[in-house]
């Protein structure tokens, strides 16, 4: 059965500062994840004789995370705007603390209904699920894809393949520096996790 490999990008400078969105570079630790990824992917078990194709977002942190897979393994990389992180609109670049202070009602509204809450000038999880539809369709008819994307996007793709209701995806834990391998089986999708030791 064919598998899909899925990961968040390595830790970024913004992750370190607790800022959301943006287009920051990887931190040193994030760089270490990028360097370890070829080994981690090999350890996960690759299809015989077939390279994977790398799908990233258009943001620097996902491309940087993919760079050693490209260089060391010679895999091809494709960038998708549809894989960019949930657009946090006017809150882009802020910390959750700053959002709570500047937009207290929005902060509360998001907590009350995180799936439907749409950032001012930005997106909701519901919006993201809709813009991911073409990606999911393309994934369903492709083989040997590794996706390196962002927290909210990983949640929605994961929920889709695990048949978890999308309303639950905004609250799912997706740790950094952990590669997931999803393999469809007769009884449902099997998940294997490979954590980088960094």
**Cβ–Cβ under 8 Å, residues 9 and 149:** yes
- Is 9 one of the annotated active-site residues of the chain? yes
| Nearest approach, Cβ of residue 91 and ligand F6P (Å) | 8
161 is in an annotated binding site: no
Concerning whether 85 is annotated as a catalytic residue, the answer is yes
Tell whether residue 15 is among the known ligand binding residues: yes
Residues 123, 149 contacting (CB under 8 angstroms): no
Of residues 29 and 73, the one with the C-beta less far from ligand F6P? 29
Least Cβ distance, residue 163 to ligand F6P (angstroms): 21
Count of other CB atoms within 10 angstroms of residue 47: 11
Q: Which helix (H) or strand (E) holds 110?
A: helix 104-112
Residue 181 beta carbon to ligand F6P: minimum distance, rounded to whole angstroms? 21
C-alpha span between 9 and 77 (Å, rounded): 14
Binding site for ligand F6P (CB under 6 A): 15, 20-21, 85-86, 88, 150-152, 170
- Residue (of 141, 187, 174) closest to 4 by Cα position: 141
Residues contributing to the annotated binding site for substrate: 8-15, 61
**Active-site amino acid positions:** 9, 85
Binding residues: 8-15, 61
């Amino acid at each position: 059965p064919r598998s899909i490999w899925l990961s968040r990008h390595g830790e970024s400078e913004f992750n370190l500062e607790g800022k959301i969105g943006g287009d920051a570079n990887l931190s040193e630790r994030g760089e270490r994840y990028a360097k370890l990824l070829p080994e981690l992917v090999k350890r996960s078990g690759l299809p015989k004789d077939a390279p994977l194709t790398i799908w990233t977002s258009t943001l620097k942190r996902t491309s940087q995370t993919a760079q050693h897979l490209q260089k060391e393994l010679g895999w091809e990389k494709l960038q998708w705007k549809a894989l960019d992180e949930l657009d946090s609109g006017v809150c882009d670049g802020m910390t959750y603390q700053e959002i709570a202070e500047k937009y207290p009602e929005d902060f509360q509204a998001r907590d009350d209904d995180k799936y439907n809450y749409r950032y001012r000038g930005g997106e909701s999880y519901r919006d993201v699920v809709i813009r991911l539809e073409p990606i999911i369709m393309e994934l369903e008819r492709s083989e040997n894809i590794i996706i390196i994307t962002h927290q909210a996007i990983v949640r929605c793709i994961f929920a889709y393949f695990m048949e978890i209701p999308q309303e639950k995806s905004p609250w799912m834990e997706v740790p950094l520096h952990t590669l997931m391998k999803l393999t469809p089986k007769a009884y449902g999708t099997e998940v294997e996790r490979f954590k980088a030791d960094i």
